[in-house]
């Protein structure tokens, strides 16, 4: 059974001052390989910007994490940061990317989660 539709472009807190936007994406590379990637954007030059990617699989009733990417950060970054992962997957399942985005500027921390659309790896 396919997973329920998830709004891929969930919105960060509109009161955030520095975390502008972010996204997570997924693509099928063939041969049971998936590429997931994400990007985080700040409104101004920030002290730290980062992203953490997770690959999730649909079990028929719930999304479960099957691969956790490393937390990647950039300090003294201008405005944007990107990360990507290539992972092996099993046929016959739906997959999606989940991404945690954050920025730090001075004592301010802002963060949020985004989800990609889902894709089926056919049998």
Neighbours of 1 (CB within 10 A): 8
Tell me the whole-structure pTM to 2 decimals: 0.87
**Domain residue extents for the chain:** 19-121
Assigned CATH for 19-121: 2.60.40.10
pLDDT along the chain (123 residues), means of 10: 62 90 92 92 90 93 90 72 84 94 94 92 91
Tokens at 87, concatenated: 């992972």
Q: Which residues contact 91 (CB under 8 A, 6 or more apart)?
A: 32, 121, 122, 123
Q: How far is CA 54 from CA 35, 40, 63, 107, in A?
A: 11, 15, 11, 27
Tokens at 108, concatenated: 């301010």
The pLDDT, as a whole number, for residue 2 is 66
């Amino acid at each position: 059974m396919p997973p329920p539709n998830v709004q891929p472009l969930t919105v960060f807190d509109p009161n955030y001052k520095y975390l502008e936007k972010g996204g997570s994406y997924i693509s099928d590379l063939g041969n049971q390989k998936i590429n997931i990637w994400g990007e985080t954007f700040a409104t101004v030059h920030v002290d730290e910007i980062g992203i953490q990617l997770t690959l999730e699989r649909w079990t028929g009733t719930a999304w479960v994490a099957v691969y956790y990417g490393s937390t990647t950060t950039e300090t003294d970054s201008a405005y944007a940061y990107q990360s990507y992962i290539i992972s092996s997957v099993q046929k016959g399942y739906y997959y999606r990317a989940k991404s945690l985005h954050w920025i730090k500027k001075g004592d301010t921390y802002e963060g949020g989660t985004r989800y990609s659309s889902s894709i089926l790896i056919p049998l």
